[in-house]
Structure 1
Amino acid sequence: MMFKSTRDSAVRVSASEAILKGLSADGGLFVPESFPTLTLDDIEGLSEKSYKERAIEVLSLFLSDFSDEQLVSCVERAYSAKKFGSDSIIRIEELNDTAQMLELWHGPTCAFKDMALQILPHLLTTSAQIQHCENEIVILVATSGDTGKAALEGFCDVPGTRMIVFYPEDGVSPMQKRQMTTQEGENVAVCAIKGNFDDAQTAVKTIFVDEELRASMTENGKQFSSANSINWGRLVPQVVYYVAAYAQLVQDETIKLGDTVNVCVPTGNFGNILAAYYAKKMGVPFGKLICASNENNVLTDFIRTGTYDKNRAFHATISPSMDILISSNLERLLYDLCGEDDAQVRAWYESLAKTGTFTISDEVKEKLSEHFYGGCCDDTRTKETIREAFEEESYLCDTHTAVAVSVYEDYKTQTDDDTLTLIASTANPYKFAQSVLSAVYDELPADEYDQIDTLCRLSGLSVPKALSELKEKPVRFTGSIPRETIKETVAEMLGL
């Protein structure tokens, strides 16, 4: 299995090279040159296996230059019952007759990013061994909240690596900020920026293709890589959990083998729903992929009109991990839908860089509409959905999952499609305690930990130890910089 760039189909790198580099030198994203197929017999076999066994089988289809022993080692170290609360790793809970909640947040940082970022450090260091790379690997991360903490936790004190995380100063929840700024580890650094997530993400991607900085890194025995979902090593573990979730529904006899299941995903950067699309492309019987956005509804408009336009107001919402106007992983989907026409992809993204917009052809839009439905909701509706799910279904959603539930309800009303739907539940509600509590309770304590205690009393849902312990942890990182100085800050931190 080789990988090519979305902006130059002639590029060919191995899986370990793709993971180690993170981003192609031409600015494109790495994608498999072909996709393996899972038959119904294969899926039936996976339904009888554990999550770890499912992960090993799916990963082996893509990471062909990893030995069996290396893959087993990566999976065993990433997905332990100690880290995820049980061997099941994922949980599937019934919301109602037509919706099942795919809970992806039982890992150490209480967000779905753990599903990929607990294994990425092992994939990355193994890739370095395969490539005989002796450089120190510097991982740059732009985060809208959850990726930062999950990456910091995953890479904390991993030998041969350093990590620098940038997050929007006013664009994360208090709990997300506290998780990052109290992070332990000698090889990590966290810095706020005066700007939004898109500013941080754009700066990081620019650094990756900066020839001068790359040369300086090489001279100093270092090289960049990424823990964002632009890195194939971040995305492929997400494909795993969608394959595993369908297999689990079969094992639980919630569905029969071969039944179609829709998937609804709250997303801003498009990686989480792209992973579901890739699972469908491999043969998992997924139907409509429902893309749920908050008020930053650039993806909703794109799916409905075929025009991507980031020239719009940016909204800071109560679902901050989705406050994104430039959805990086959409590039991978468009490369696939346009028949892997790299020149067309380059043209679209040159237009996006210059004008902030591009429009796809009617043919590509038709393919997009065949697979995807786009919907959105504002903060008011998000809170109403949290309250309704709690009072009517006894299910407590975080602010991102609630966006997905709301959009799913809109989809069902508009289409009369009652196909069983898997809704990605992406974070523990305590990560956004203030917003969640205000949705279900009229009196809001001022102190964040009093809010958590009140929410615990109301819901009966236990508070994760990883969050309750933050109260006593000292804050290590307090810096904040202008967004224009990210490159200089990175160079200074690395002594270049």
Structure 2
Amino acid sequence: MHYLSTRGGIAPIGFADAVMMGLATDGGLLVPAEIPQLDAATLRAWSGLSFQDLALEVLTPFVGDEIPRADLRALIDRSYATFTHPEVTPVIKTGGQRILELFHGPTAAFKDVALQLLGNLFAYLLARDGSQLNIVGATSGDTGSAAIYGVRGKERIQIFILHPKGRVSPIQERQMTTVLDANVHNIAVQGTFDDAQRVVKSLFNDLPFKSAYRLGAVNSINWARILAQTVYYFYAWGRVSGGDPAQPVSFSVPTGNFGDVFAGYLARRMGLPIERLVIATNRNDILTRFVKTGVYAIEDRVHQTLSPAMDIQLASNFERYLYHLHDGDTAQVRALLGDLQDTGRLSVDPARHAQVQADFSAAAVSDPETLDQIRATFASSGYILCPHTAVGVRAAQDLPGCVCLATAHPAKFGEAVREAIGQEAPPPPSLLGLLEKESRCVELDATPEAIKGHLQSVLEVPT
């Protein structure tokens, strides 16, 4: 399998290079040159596999022969041994909806599914090549802690995570800043997640700096993140459909950066019978507006909400969808992104807008509706939703039997849950005592210059 850039500016590369490159050197995102196609017999055979066995099958065609199958299986087993549920991502039924619980990893968020694997992939490839990697990432809440837990203490890796000061929950902040391993560096920046993400992209687009300091990416711009998240769509379908290829399943996906829902789109392109893919957004509804109008337009500010991991204006993985929507026409992708940079908006033609609406449904959910959904679900079943999951459940209220992705444990958002139901969710063991632990973090301006200077002060200056 070879990988290309959405902007067409690189020669095809292999899986290992794609993982290590993160963001393509032309500023685009990496995508597979072709998408494997699955037949009905394969879907039936996969439907009853354990999560680990299924992950091996889903990943293999994308990895090719670059990692021996036995080594890949060992990486998968090591990654999901850290999860507390034997199914890794179980599907449970509550009320009229099915909930795909993605929060049984070490940081109680869906990002663990991908980042435990990515951390082990990095360590494997670096040890094989005898090289070093300095990871730089931005987080709106859960990516940072999941990335840190994926690589903490690993040789050959340093990790620098930027989060917007005061715009993540206290638990999310402490999950990052209480990890005191010498290779972990937390940075609180003044501004929004979009400001932090913009700085990270600037660093990666500075090719001499990226090369000199061996920068790597863990945000969902890294293809391995998308690939790992695709697995749980296949897993949930198998548990709900009974393995019948004639039985499609709908999914509702709380999303801000478009990575999780793009993983579902990839699964459907591979042949998974998905009926509807619902994009569930909060008040920061740029993706919902795009689905409804065909216009992707930036608003004047990012709104703070009860679902902070979705408080995003610029969805990084949207570029991957633009690439597929335009049948791999990289010149068209570049032109659309140029429009976005110059005017703050881009639009697609009527035929492609019709395709968007065939690919996705979308709904924006307000904070009052989020609280109401947490309250209603708890009253009917005793089940507690995190605010992000509540956004997904409310967005799917007209799709009975839809599988709603539970992206985080509700104990990570105690204030919102308490406001909704008058009590907090019992915390999993991984969250106990976090607020009392020693923490370490630096505060910097959200500028490339400030972050570059910090990296240079921490890392040995290359010769």
Q: TM-score with structure 1 length normalisation?
A: 0.89
Letter in structure 2 aligned against 1:490 = L
Gap change, CA 1:357 and 1:77, over 3 Å in 2: same
RMSD: 1.5
Q: Residue 435 of structure 1 aligns with which residue?
A: 416
Letter in structure 1 aligned against 2:83 = F
1:207 pairs with 2:203: yes
DSSP-derived class of the 2:314 partner: coil
Q: Residue 445 of structure 2 aligns with which residue?
A: 482
Q: Is the Cα contact below 8 Å between 1:51 and 1:87 reproduced in 2?
A: no
Q: Is the Cα contact below 8 Å between 1:141 and 1:204 reproduced in 2?
A: yes
Q: Is the Cα contact below 8 Å between 1:203 and 1:487 reproduced in 2?
A: no
Gap change, CA 1:52 and 1:215, over 3 Å in 2: closer
| Cα deviations by residue, 1:333-366 (Å, 9 ceiling, x for unpaired) | 1100111000111111122222221111222211
1:87 pairs with 2:86: yes
| Cα deviations by residue, 1:250-287 (Å, 9 ceiling, x for unpaired) | 4xx4x744211111000000000000010011011001
Aligned-pair CA distance for 1:376: 0.6
Q: Is the Cα contact below 8 Å between 2:160 and 2:185 reproduced in 1?
A: yes
How many residues end up aligned between the 2 structures?
Answer: 458
DSSP-derived class of the 2:13 partner: strand
Q: Residue 101 of structure 1 aligns with which residue?
A: 99
Aligned-pair CA distance for 1:310: 1.1
Further displaced range: 308-317 or 297-306 = 308-317
Q: Is the Cα contact below 8 Å between 2:95 and 2:380 reproduced in 1?
A: no
| Cα deviations by residue, 1:18-38 (Å, 9 ceiling, x for unpaired) | 001101100011001111122
Q: Residue 306 of structure 2 aligns with which residue?
A: 318
1:467 pairs with 2:421: no
Aligned-pair CA distance for 1:129: 5.1
Q: Residue 72 of structure 2 aligns with which residue?
A: 71
Letter in structure 2 aligned against 1:234 = R
Further displaced range: 374-383 or 146-155 = 374-383
Further displaced range: 65-74 or 282-291 = 65-74
Letter in structure 2 aligned against 1:75 = I
What pairs up with 1:62-211 in 2 under 5 angstroms?
62-64=62-64, 65-80=66-81, 83-97=82-96, 99-128=97-126, 132=129, 134-211=130-207
DSSP-derived class of the 2:99 partner: strand
Aligned-pair CA distance for 1:70: 1.7
1:229 pairs with 2:255: no
Q: Is the Cα contact below 8 Å between 1:9 and 1:340 reproduced in 2?
A: no
| Cα deviations by residue, 1:35-74 (Å, 9 ceiling, x for unpaired) | 1122222122112321110001111011112110221111
1:33 pairs with 2:21: no
Letter in structure 1 aligned against 2:437 = K
Aligned-pair CA distance for 1:153: 0.5
Structure 1 CA distance for aligned equivalents of residues 10 and 172 of structure 2? 41
1:455 pairs with 2:424: yes
Letter in structure 1 aligned against 2:91 = I
What pairs up with 1:304-453 in 2 under 5 angstroms?
304-409=292-397, 412=398, 418=400, 420-441=401-422
Q: Is the Cα contact below 8 Å between 2:281 and 2:310 reproduced in 1?
A: yes
Letter in structure 2 aligned against 1:43 = L
Structure 1 CA distance for aligned equivalents of residues 323 and 212 of structure 2? 32
Structure 1 CA distance for aligned equivalents of residues 404 and 166 of structure 2? 28
Q: Residue 447 of structure 1 aligns with which residue?
A: none
Gap change, CA 1:2 and 1:88, over 3 Å in 2: same
Which blocks of at least 5 consecutive residues in structure 2 are unaligned?
Answer: none
Structure 1 CA distance for aligned equivalents of residues 234 and 10 of structure 2? 30
Structure 1 CA distance for aligned equivalents of residues 210 and 105 of structure 2? 34
Structure 2 CA distance for aligned equivalents of residues 358 and 487 of structure 1? 31
Further displaced range: 121-130 or 153-162 = 121-130
Q: Is the Cα contact below 8 Å between 1:124 and 1:233 reproduced in 2?
A: no
Gap change, CA 1:362 and 1:493, over 3 Å in 2: farther
Q: TM-score with structure 2 length normalisation?
A: 0.96
DSSP-derived class of the 2:195 partner: helix
Gap change, CA 1:128 and 1:362, over 3 Å in 2: farther
Q: Residue 494 of structure 1 aligns with which residue?
A: 459
Q: Residue 274 of structure 1 aligns with which residue?
A: 262
Q: Is the Cα contact below 8 Å between 1:20 and 1:128 reproduced in 2?
A: no
| Cα deviations by residue, 1:424-450 (Å, 9 ceiling, x for unpaired) | 010000000111111111xxxxxxxxx
Q: Residue 446 of structure 1 aligns with which residue?
A: none
The percent of aligned pairs where both chains have the same amino acid is 35
DSSP-derived class of the 2:373 partner: helix
Q: Is the Cα contact below 8 Å between 1:100 and 1:422 reproduced in 2?
A: yes
| Cα deviations by residue, 1:142-194 (Å, 9 ceiling, x for unpaired) | 00010000000010011111100000002100110111111131111001000
Gap change, CA 1:423 and 1:215, over 3 Å in 2: closer
DSSP-derived class of the 2:257 partner: coil
DSSP-derived class of the 2:319 partner: helix
Structure 1 CA distance for aligned equivalents of residues 133 and 387 of structure 2? 34
Aligned-pair CA distance for 1:10: 5.8
DSSP-derived class of the 1:84 partner: coil
Which blocks of at least 5 consecutive residues in structure 1 are unaligned?
Answer: 218-222, 442-453, 457-461
Q: Is the Cα contact below 8 Å between 2:9 and 2:26 reproduced in 1?
A: no
- Give runs of ≥4 in structure 1 deviating > 3 Å: 127-130
Aligned-pair CA distance for 1:215: 4.8
